[in-house]
Amino acid sequence: MRVDDFSKLAVRVEPMTVADLTEVLNIEHLSFPSPWSARAYEYELRYNDMAHYFVARADTSALNTNSGERVLGWLKRVLHPAPANGTPQIVGYIGYWLMAGEAHISTIAVRPEMRGRAFGELLLAFTIEDAARRGAHVATLEVRISNTPAQQLYLKYGFEKVGLRKAYYSDNNEDAFIMTTPPLGSAQYQTRFERLKSALIMRLNEVGSKQLQSQPT
Ligand SMILES: CC(C)(COP(=O)(O)OP(=O)(O)OC[C@H]1O[C@@H](n2cnc3c(N)ncnc32)[C@H](O)[C@@H]1OP(=O)(O)O)[C@@H](O)C(=O)NCCC(=O)NCCS
């Protein structure tokens, strides 16, 4: 399942560590009505052998934003400063549990002002590839029935709605769709995945080079 290499992109996907949790929890609180706690993440990272968590990092100062986003971005940076050591900012994260040949995606989120730039797709594609390499036959997840952006992302990657969990979310009793991929190793899925991955890498490279060209000197 390798057509090109995610490691050559300006946005890097790396294993999440406990040192990432301040930034991760900031995005978590901006993204979910019932955010996970630091303790929950620490448990996942330190003790859950089935868990695999990743962050995507990019130099967000190089990303074009419109003026409204720039003001909002400035305000957010003042309130939640990026690490001072020059490390690129975490733009999103994802996690999954590998259980009995199934990759169960437990979470995915992108920093609100960084959405719509293919970072969520990069995290999902990276995870599907990582899980397949570790022996997952399918990927599965739950998603709020109202969460159209996330569902569209999963549908793009071949997930199908295979069931419903009634009142799955305790904050508002919302139902969850269970969405699952076809067999990851099937020729049909691999062809689809490779096509999507090539387009994704091209898109992320194009965005990166346009941003570099438009940088003030
Ligand atoms: C879901 C989420 C991770 C998507 O991240 P993102 O970086 O904005 O998404 P991308 O830019 O990579 O978009 C990839 C695909 O997702 C779908 N998508 C993303 N945003 C969408 C939107 N607002 N409306 C419809 N589809 C959308 C599209 O299929 C898109 O592909 P396209 O660009 O070819 O149209 C992001 O919206 C998020 O963090 N949401 C809050 C947390 C959350 O709901 N997580 C899911 C829990 S199940």
pLDDT digits (tens, 9 = 90+) for 83-132: 545 668 999 999 999 999 999 999 999 999 999 999 999 999 999 999 99
98, containing H or E segment: strand 89-99
**Dist CA 69 CA 65 (whole Å):** 6
Residue from 26, 105, 121 whose mutation best tests the ligand 1 pocket (most atoms within 8 A of CB)? 121
Q: What is the pLDDT of residue 61?
A: 73
Q: Is 151 in the pocket of ligand 1 (CB under 6 A)?
A: no
Is pLDDT above 60 for 158? yes
Q: Is 34 in the pocket of ligand 1 (CB under 6 A)?
A: no
Cβ atoms within 10 Å, residue 133: 11
Q: Which amino acid residue places its CA nearest to atom 23 of ligand 1?
A: 149
**Dist CA 167 CA 157 (whole Å):** 26
Residue bearing the bigger pLDDT, 75 or 23: 23
**Cβ-contact 147, 107 below 8 angstroms:** no
Residues labelled as active-site residues: 142, 154
Q: pTM here?
A: 0.89
Is pLDDT above 50 for 217? no
Extract the tokens encoding 52: 């695999």
Is pLDDT above 90 for 177? yes
pLDDT band for position 212 (50/70/90)?
A: very low
Q: Which amino acid residue places its CA nearest to atom 30 of ligand 1?
A: 153
Is pLDDT above 60 for 64? no
Q: Is 64 in the pocket of ligand 1 (CB under 6 A)?
A: no
Q: Is 146 in the pocket of ligand 1 (CB under 6 A)?
A: no
Q: What is the pLDDT of residue 2?
A: 47
pLDDT mean across residues, the chain: 88
pLDDT (average), residues 181-186 = 98
Ligand 1 centroid–CA 141 distance in Å is 15
Q: What percent of the chain has pLDDT over 70?
A: 81
